[in-house]
Amino acid sequence: MNQKFRSIIGLGFILLSFCLFSCKDEPSSKPDKPNILLILIDDLGYSAITPYGNPYQEMPALEKLREQGMLFTDAYVTPQCTPTRASLLTGQHTARNGMWHVTPGYSFPFARMQEPEYRKNLPIETYTLAEALKDQGYTTACLGKWHLNTWESGIGYYTYLWDSAKHHHGFDYVNPVTDPQNYHQRGDKGVEFLTNEAIKFMEQNQEQPFFIYLSQHTIHGPVLAPDTLVEKYKDRGWPYQYQNIRKINYPTNATYLAALEHINNSISRLMQSLEDMNLKENTLVIFLSDNGGVDNEFENYPLRYGKGSNYEGGIRVPFIASWPGTIPANSTEHTPVHVTDFYPTLLDLAGGKMPENHAIDGVSLKSLLLQKDTLDRNTLYWYTPLYDIQWGATPSAIIREGDYKLIHFFGDHIDLEDSSRYITEPKTVLYNLADDMSETQDLSQEMPELTRRLEINLLHWIDSMGAELPTLNPKYNPDSAFYRPR
């Protein structure tokens, strides 16, 4: 073998060795199925976090999540928790799944309108988002608040999904709770515990795609936070709790701000854990609230009213999605999106197809998240045919078409500017959200043709969902209209 030939062989061996060793250290290509960490916060208002305008504190983890991903300015859920959770896990509107009321439910038997019957338990035959992802090879966990069944169901309750019943709804794991009735009512409302559970689940399942539904109890009342954080904001001059906030012109309080910081710290730990496990670029992180904030705990400005209301403060919420290297960093999306969209979106990103025997009302947001295309949809709907007097809610429904939003009250309404005024007649209001996101100018009298068309469209949609309309209550008693049996 001559010297030249030996040199060529030697050079080839060196190049081959370099490739083998260097390629071993290179990160593998991004898998087709991202891990999914869906963080649902309870009662978090639109403007309560710094990416959406909170000026009272710093939230570096949430700011970083926003910088790494996409912020949605017009993300919608329902005004209360059970309906939002039902729509999230079914991909269906409340008019279809029948879960428009908080479970286990309560009623106002002598109110002017009679609510249609609603479903108190999520049926075990429902093909949930978790089941759809399991069929795509995902390992799934439900951590924290469930609130889709009554205690007697044997499935779950407000606080968590029973371990013995998790398989009914497609979950491989649920967090253990030794005191299911009270763990969310003391300490830090279980934030640290549930965060630890999520990190543990990621560590144990990092070799295959996972879906974590991390459903925090915070910032639902009673608002709680670690004492050290509460003292931090008391030392800055904030009142301890929310009593008399409006009288002393404070927009919030020390306990609430401490709870918000605790949420930020949880996000920080979760994101650091993903980074430590080299899962950051393989994981889609979603941050969302289940409804608007309680507006005497934290101002929802510029949105009107808060939790329980069909005005923007009750249904428009923070939504941030981060998937480094896939979702464009520091991007903003103004397209209106709905909680029913999460099911088809996550299934689409996981490579799955929409189920044939389970109706899906939402649409995939994949094109928006990747900034590849716009949505071929211009109209959103809500069906809320219920009374919840503490929030000023009476049977109603909503349609948003483009920038115009119409709320139709079927038979009565409460003047939310003066809660002592109860009006026993229907009402329809119309707003242009592009010019008036605070919903201060009712355009229904100025634009009667548009108002009537949207109202007819809304009623046709309710009918197409197979839902019943509220009817006049034969037991109506004006003296006991707001009586709620225990």
Q: CA-to-CA distance for 153 and 234, rounded, in angstroms? A: 43
The domain limits of the chain are 35-374, 381-480
Specify the pLDDT at position 249. Answer: 60
The top-scoring range by mean pLDDT among 93-107, 410-424, 446-460 is: 446-460
What letter does residue 243 receive in the DSSP assignment?
T
Specify the pLDDT at position 28. Answer: 43
| Reported confidence tier of residue 9, pLDDT bands at 50, 70, 90 | very low
149-177 pLDDT, tens digit each: 999 999 999 999 999 999 999 999 999 98
Q: CA-to-CA distance for 96 and 303, rounded, in angstroms? A: 28
Q: Kindly list the distances between the CA atom of residue 148 and the CA atoms of 152, 162, 195, in Å, as whole numbers in the listed order.
A: 12, 11, 21
pLDDT tops 60 at residue 102: yes
Which sign, positive or negative, has the C-alpha torsion 469, 99, 70, 45? positive
Phi–psi pair at 391, nearest 5 degrees: -105, 5
| Reported confidence tier of residue 248, pLDDT bands at 50, 70, 90 | low
| Reported confidence tier of residue 243, pLDDT bands at 50, 70, 90 | low
Radius of gyration over every alpha carbon of the chain, rounded to an integer in angstroms: 25
Specify the pLDDT at position 182. Answer: 83
Phi–psi pair at 12, nearest 5 degrees: -65, -40
What angle in degrees, to the nearest 10, is found between the helix axes of 81-90 and 342-349? 30
| Reported confidence tier of residue 6, pLDDT bands at 50, 70, 90 | very low
pLDDT tops 60 at residue 235: yes
Rounded mean pLDDT, 353-373: 96
Return the HEC string of 393-438: ECCEEEEEECCEEEEEECCCEECCCCCCCEECCCEEEEEECCCCCC
Identify the CATH class of 35-374: alpha beta
321-357 pLDDT, tens digit each: 999 999 999 999 999 999 999 999 999 999 999 999 9
pLDDT tops 60 at residue 265: yes
Q: CA-to-CA distance for 75 and 90, rounded, in angstroms? A: 18
What angle in degrees, to the nearest 10, is found between the helix axes of 60-68 and 254-276? 50
Q: CA-to-CA distance for 131 and 375, rounded, in angstroms? A: 26
pLDDT tops 50 at residue 478: yes
| Reported confidence tier of residue 32, pLDDT bands at 50, 70, 90 | confident
Q: Are 169 and 126 in contact (CB under 8 A)?
A: yes
| Paired tokens of 486 | 């225990």
Same fold? 35-374, 381-480 = no
pLDDT tops 90 at residue 25: no
Specify the pLDDT at position 30. Answer: 57
Q: CA-to-CA distance for 18 and 93, rounded, in angstroms? A: 56
382-425 pLDDT, tens digit each: 999 999 988 999 999 999 999 999 999 999 999 877 766 899 99
Q: CA-to-CA distance for 29 and 38, rounded, in angstroms? A: 23
Q: What residues pair up with 320 in beta bridges, in sequence order?
A: 71, 287
Residue 64 buriedness (CB in 10 A; 0-12 / 13-18 / 19+): middle
Q: Are 343 and 131 in contact (CB under 8 A)?
A: no
What letter does residue 470 receive in the DSSP assignment?
P
pLDDT tops 90 at residue 81: yes
Give the architecture-level CATH label for domain 381-480.
2-Layer Sandwich (3.30)
pLDDT-wise least confident of 98-107, 245-254, 453-462: 245-254
Q: Are 317 and 306 in contact (CB under 8 A)?
A: no
| Reported confidence tier of residue 242, pLDDT bands at 50, 70, 90 | low
Q: In the chain, pLDDT over 70 holds for what percent of residues? A: 91
Q: What residues pair up with 427 in beta bridges, in sequence order?
A: 409
| Reported confidence tier of residue 255, pLDDT bands at 50, 70, 90 | very high
Whole-prediction pTM value? 0.92
Q: Are 400 and 312 in contact (CB under 8 A)?
A: no
What letter does residue 381 receive in the DSSP assignment?
E
Rounded mean pLDDT, 247-266: 89
Torsion of CA 40, 341, 125, 283, to 10 degrees: -50
Specify the pLDDT at position 419. Answer: 65
β-bridge pairing 35-41 and 283-289 = parallel
Q: Are 434 and 461 in contact (CB under 8 A)?
A: no
Q: CA-to-CA distance for 141 and 212, rounded, in angstroms? A: 5
pLDDT tops 50 at residue 46: yes
Of the candidates 205, 220, 89, which has an alpha carbon nearest to the alpha carbon of residue 138? 205
